[in-house]
């Protein structure tokens, strides 16, 4: 689905209006931000097995553009040389990591701390390390040039259109449209929540080892 098609769908739900295009686009963008700030995020926002390069002598990695949060079931990890068994890097608070590892000599990653715009690794890296993790990323803005590439439009338009349409209907005090878009929003939310539950149940738990 394209953004223009989403706009037309909302106009249709608002008693077949032909105006308010700019306002609807603004509501779509507000809806996108709202959906991506919720506790449960859909699988189609997940970036899987993303590479991160930790350079020798450094301890900081920049968070990727559009980062929302890490995927709890797929922790930060790397493969030590000459092994196919991943070594998981536990997350710690900055204070605990600093107290425990600030005096350590450079070595392989022991723990990681998530900061506002960076990942801090303890201790400093002794060589280059290729790290891997999975994280949730914001979709394309609905008021930007790449709106048609938005992941909600491609994978779960009902959730987005329902949320945006509900906002418009509330502003217009249109009770019938509010009920209609609320049903659409709930249908879309159920879709991606059920898919997420099915994925987690199929994958089973990940057992993390402890670094020595």
Claim to verify: residue 181 and residue 105 sit in the same structural domain? no
Claim to verify: residue 12 and residue 52 sit in the same structural domain? no
Q: Which domain range does residue 151 map to?
A: 3-36+140-203
**Minimum mean pLDDT among 15-24, 57-66, 94-103, 203-212: which range?**
203-212
Claim to verify: residue 15 and residue 52 sit in the same structural domain? no
- Looking at residue 203, what is its pLDDT? 60
Q: How far is CA 5 from CA 86, 150, 151, 178, in A?
A: 45, 13, 14, 19
How confident is the model over 101-141, as pLDDT tens digits? 988 999 999 999 999 999 999 999 999 999 999 999 999 99
Section 50-68 average pLDDT: 96
pLDDT band at 16 (very low <50, low <70, confident <90, very high): very high
Name the token pair of 165.
């349409």
Claim to verify: residue 114 and residue 166 sit in the same structural domain? no
Is pLDDT above 80 for 210?
Answer: no
Is pLDDT above 90 for 202?
Answer: no
- The span from the CA of 119 to the CA of 109, in Å, is 12
| CB neighbours of residue 51 within 10 Å | 8
Entry pTM: 0.88
Q: Which residue has the tokens 């909302």?
A: 10
pLDDT band at 198 (very low <50, low <70, confident <90, very high): confident
Section 53-69 average pLDDT: 96
The answer to whether residue 59 sits within a structural domain is: yes
The answer to whether residue 212 sits within a structural domain is: no
Is pLDDT above 60 for 204?
Answer: no
Q: How far is CA 178 from CA 146, 171, 173, in A?
A: 28, 10, 8
How confident is the model over 69-100, as pLDDT tens digits? 999 888 899 999 888 899 999 999 999 999 99
Rounded to the nearest integer, the mean pLDDT of the chain is: 92
Q: How many domains is the chain partitioned into structurally?
A: 2
- Looking at residue 211, what is its pLDDT? 41
The answer to whether residue 91 sits within a structural domain is: yes
Section 15-27 average pLDDT: 97
pLDDT band at 208 (very low <50, low <70, confident <90, very high): very low
Claim to verify: residue 79 and residue 153 sit in the same structural domain? no
The answer to whether residue 148 sits within a structural domain is: yes
The answer to whether residue 57 sits within a structural domain is: yes
Q: Choose one of 100, 115, 137: the last residue of a domain.
A: 137
Claim to verify: residue 31 and residue 94 sit in the same structural domain? no
């Amino acid at each position: 689905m394209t953004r223009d098609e989403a706009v037309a769908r909302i106009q249709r739900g608002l008693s077949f209006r032909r105006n308010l295009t700019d306002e609807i686009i603004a509501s779509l963008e507000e809806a996108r931000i709202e959906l991506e700030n919720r506790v449960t995020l859909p699988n189609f926002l997940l970036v899987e097995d993303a590479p991160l390069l930790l350079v020798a002598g450094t301890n900081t990695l920049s968070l990727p553009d559009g980062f929302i949060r890490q995927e709890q079931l797929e922790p930060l990890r790397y493969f030590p040389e000459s092994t196919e068994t991943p070594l998981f890097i536990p997350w710690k608070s900055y204070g605990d990591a600093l107290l425990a590892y600030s005096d350590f000599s450079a070595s392989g990653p022991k723990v990681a701390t998530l900061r506002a715009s960076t990942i801090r690794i303890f201790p400093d890296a002794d060589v280059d390390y290729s790290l891997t993790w999975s994280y949730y990323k914001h979709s394309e803005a609905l008021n930007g040039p790449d709106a048609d590439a938005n992941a909600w439009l491609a994978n779960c338009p009902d959730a987005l259109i329902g949320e945006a349409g509900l906002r418009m209907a509330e502003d217009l005090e249109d009770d019938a449209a509010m009920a209609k878009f609320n049903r659409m929003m709930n249908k879309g939310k159920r879709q991606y929540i059920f898919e997420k539950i099915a994925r987690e149940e199929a994958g089973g738990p990940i057992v993390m080892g402890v670094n020595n």
